[in-house]
Amino acid sequence: MITPLTPSHLTGFMDLIEICGFPRRSRAGWHWAFFENPEQELEPAGYALETDGVLQGTIGTHRRVLRNRDRRISLISAHTTVTRLSSPGSGIRLMRHTLNNYKGEGVFTLNNNALSAPVYPRIGVMPWRGEEGKLYLEKGLSWFELGVSKVFNSLSQTGLGNALRSRERLSSRLSPLTDTVQTSGLVMVNPFRRGDSEKLDRFSDAMQAGENFEMTRTGEIWRYRLSDPDFKECQRIYAVEEAGEYTGLLAVSLCKESELSASALEIEDLARLETCSASRDDLLTAAKDIACQVKVARVRWRILPTDFASPENSDWMVRAKPYHFSHAQFRDEAVADHWTPGVGNGDFFFATRRPPKFRRSSTNKTG
């Protein structure tokens, strides 16, 4: 039986997560991710498949509200599909159930892996972005750390794998994203402060006043995203402020994909009004500056806009994954023509693996 996901499913869900290898979170952390989204409204937080009272699998359905000057819509970001190995076909059942029951204008994922990429088209969820859906931007900062990580990952495929993964590697130099991490030309934004929150509200309205659909970037949304119960000082927002208003926004976070991976500063959002005096390249330069201060090995922007062009005279690299990591199904195809997805639309802010050294002491256990 498939039913809407509720907090009562979290115990069984966390057992599944341990089996499937998703980034570890506490119960409070998963409750935050599934059930505290201020945009969720009447959309279920996900669905659970049970047989004889035993949880066989789950899928998350994070609702996003988007607007343009004429219309308000909702899209569903599908995430965290986990099933028991002993329950083949459960994932497909949950995906199909979601497609038949969601309440918005479309369902999408911007963060699927190589295993799920060939599955989605079988159920009508297509790689609608074409080859652009394989591209991301990266700038290396510590070639030593990147090289060592590559060696570690190669050795992990041998008999040394368990020994190498027994502790976290390549994280001792990392610094947190504290209030002291500043960058020229941008101000740090605190959505918990009333004045900053109101400026975010107005910036969100201005971004949504055009022809294309834009995500909601209000103070409420950013307060939610920065309230991660499990990790501290791993996310920050910066803004271009002109005449007392925000005209550009840069959100970043710390990432370490595995015990053996090189660290990264992820660009979680990069947005600017046409009136913004800072260019996109200026914001990318700011992200690099922040990355250098916290001593990560690279900067990465995982979802590139349609009109993206590589920064001139730089060593930023446009890279391609061997599979499509963006898939969607739209009930209204016109939405696809007026929506360029960004990292902020997806589940990266809670699905990204954070450096364990920044885990809050009160949530060191996953239970």
How confident is the model over 43-98, as pLDDT tens digits? 999 999 999 999 999 999 999 999 999 999 999 999 999 999 889 999 999 999 99
Tell whether 230 is covered by a domain.
Answer: yes
Tell whether 258 is covered by a domain.
Answer: yes
* Number of structural domains in the chain: 2
Tell whether 332 is covered by a domain.
Answer: no
Same domain? For 62 and 185 the reply is no
Query: Is the pLDDT confidence value at 279 over 90?
Result: yes
**Which of 103, 133, 163 delimits the end of a domain?**
133
Same domain? For 95 and 157 the reply is no
CATH of the domain at 318: 3.40.630.30
User: How big, in percent rounded to 5, are the helix, strand and coil portions of the chain?
Assistant: 30, 25, 45
Same domain? For 156 and 294 the reply is yes
Same domain? For 141 and 102 the reply is no
**Which of 117, 133, 149 delimits the end of a domain?**
133
Same domain? For 142 and 279 the reply is yes
What is the DSSP secondary structure assignment for residue 128, as one 8-state letter? T
Q: Tell me: the pLDDT tens digits for 148-187? A: 999 999 999 998 988 999 999 999 999 999 999 999 999 9
Same domain? For 190 and 75 the reply is no
Same domain? For 265 and 249 the reply is yes
Q: Label residue 364 by pLDDT band (50, 70, 90).
A: low
**Which of 133, 159, 182 delimits the end of a domain?**
133
Same domain? For 93 and 156 the reply is no
Q: Label residue 313 by pLDDT band (50, 70, 90).
A: low
Tell whether 92 is covered by a domain.
Answer: yes
Q: Label residue 311 by pLDDT band (50, 70, 90).
A: confident
Query: What is the extent of the structural domain holding 358?
Result: 135-322+340-363
So what's the pLDDT on residue 18?
Answer: 83
Alpha-helical regions (H) of 3-142 = 10-20, 27-35, 90-101
Q: Tell me: the pLDDT tens digits for 211-261? A: 999 999 999 999 999 999 999 999 999 999 999 999 999 999 999 999 999
Tell whether 261 is covered by a domain.
Answer: yes
Same domain? For 112 and 170 the reply is no
CA distances from 348 to 81, 155, 169, 214, 253 (A): 15, 28, 22, 17, 10
Q: Tell me: the pLDDT tens digits for 329-360? A: 999 989 999 999 999 999 999 999 999 999 99
**E-strand spans in 52-194?**
54-67, 72-83, 106-109, 135-140, 187-189
